[in-house]
Structure 1
């Protein structure tokens, strides 16, 4: 097998608050290969967001190493794009301008105005948002805002796309539509994706592997489930697929087994 694109090697993360040290992640190791889609799931307080933020370069490790293309991650970089639950769009800019901002940041010194324009439209087309390119965030729905957030992240052509519960604040129907969009994008551009979610069906539907975290403090990777349901996936079909059902059963069983473990109030999500 080829070398992993992303490698977390014996990661420990401690946080200090008012002189009190909280041990968040305890000896976490994980390898992710190019083009893989991983879902990370666990109860609140298990360090899922901390793990994602380590990869994003937003949280330093206390011990261990986080490597991307065999180079240590030492801060944020355009090769790792993050989409949060909050879309974080600039409200005074149009949809087009929000995506163009990321394009210009990365390619402004290398491409002419037409190339920047075409690149911006291309990423809006990927998420089917060209029709709303002249609208501002306050004029579009929550699901449409998340589409724009994904387009802006993809415009950076990242090696790893990090999704931090990107559909958590959306209604069920909008959430399903965006899940389908993400599946289509993954099939088309074969991006490497790490996604945090609390939704078991979502985790299994989208991922090649589901990483299950134990409860904090000192959270670890408890189990990893391989999702062997063939792609492309149709939600109406896979819900009846026995491999899908078995993966879902294993994850629910794991979460139920960890349902009553104590979680400190200071533990990050």
Structure 2
């Protein structure tokens, strides 16, 4: 019998159809996903497979044509503070300081806290992402990586049940991206957040995730395979570079994406990580 924590987030039989000028386009078809509390889930697939559409439905920014989303026992029908979304673009207001950008969210959501408590909470979250030294700077005065740190701090300050990341590192250079990935791993380990992230980066997905959800090509995209990542935490990208299991997982995702790119029916469904590793070793 599954517990509430084991089905913390449920996406059930979700379809999404867009209609314009009497022409309908089904983007998602019968998407089903169950996420445990505290899990880190990556969604990967080729462009046009409905990743962002699915994330927007979970965020409450878009409604499913059919099906439903349940988060912690409550159906999702609209945006809410129990879900925070971090975009690829930092989405900071340029006329506000770093502190004020985070305060905007805190003052809206944390009305149960008094002024002093809100101030301390803002500083706490900026310190969590290493940005407490830049509280008086405006977005134009800090780097792209620092802007994303502030965006993550703002999202975390809302104390969401679910953190949604839409390619949060996609616009960053390789070194900054790697550093922020390490920071997100550290924060997720500390806070035990439940995270749903869209990515195009296979290495990023394997490094960060507990499960990788692989989407089929659109239209009528759905979940093709779900790969469980059984790697101990904390994870080091340096140590994992030559790890056979890490490279096995990486190869499985690349295989899936290549097959979809070639429009070839997958040879076989994904087995458990243990059985696949045994076959590879044998």
| Range of TM-score over shorter length | over 0.9
Q: 2:90 aligns with which of 81, 87, 91?
A: 87
Are 1:179 and 2:159 matched, yes or no? no
Structure 1 match to 2:277: none
> Which structure 2 segments of 5+ residues have no match?
265-282
Q: 1:15 aligns with which of 8, 14, 18?
A: 18
- Structure 1 CA distance for aligned equivalents of residues 8 and 152 of structure 2: 21
- Structure 2 CA distance for aligned equivalents of residues 261 and 24 of structure 1: 17
Q: 2:221 aligns with which of 219, 222, 237?
A: 219
1:232 is paired with a residue whose SS is coil
**Residue 260 of structure 1: how far off its partner (Å):** 3.6
* RMSD of aligned alpha carbons: 1.1
Q: 2:237 aligns with which of 235, 240, 258?
A: 235
**Residue 62 of structure 1: how far off its partner (Å):** 0.7
Structure 2 match to 1:253: 255
Structure 1 match to 2:268: none
Q: 2:140 aligns with which of 133, 138, 141?
A: 138
- Matched length: 261
Q: 1:122 aligns with which of 106, 121, 124?
A: 124
Q: Give the TM-score taking structure 2 as reference length.
A: 0.91
**Residue 2 of structure 1: how far off its partner (Å):** 2.3
Structure 1 runs of 4+ aligned residues shifted over 3 Å read none
**Residue 107 of structure 1: how far off its partner (Å):** 1.6
> Which structure 1 segments of 5+ residues have no match?
263-269
**Residue 261 of structure 1: how far off its partner (Å):** 4.2
- Structure 2 CA distance for aligned equivalents of residues 209 and 165 of structure 1: 16
Structure 1 match to 2:102: 99
Structure 1 match to 2:3: 2
**Residue 59 of structure 1: how far off its partner (Å):** 1.0
**Residue 112 of structure 1: how far off its partner (Å):** 1.8
- Structure 1 CA distance for aligned equivalents of residues 79 and 31 of structure 2: 20
Structure 1 match to 2:72: 69
**Residue 70 of structure 1: how far off its partner (Å):** 2.0
Structure 1 match to 2:52: 49
- Structure 2 CA distance for aligned equivalents of residues 219 and 86 of structure 1: 25
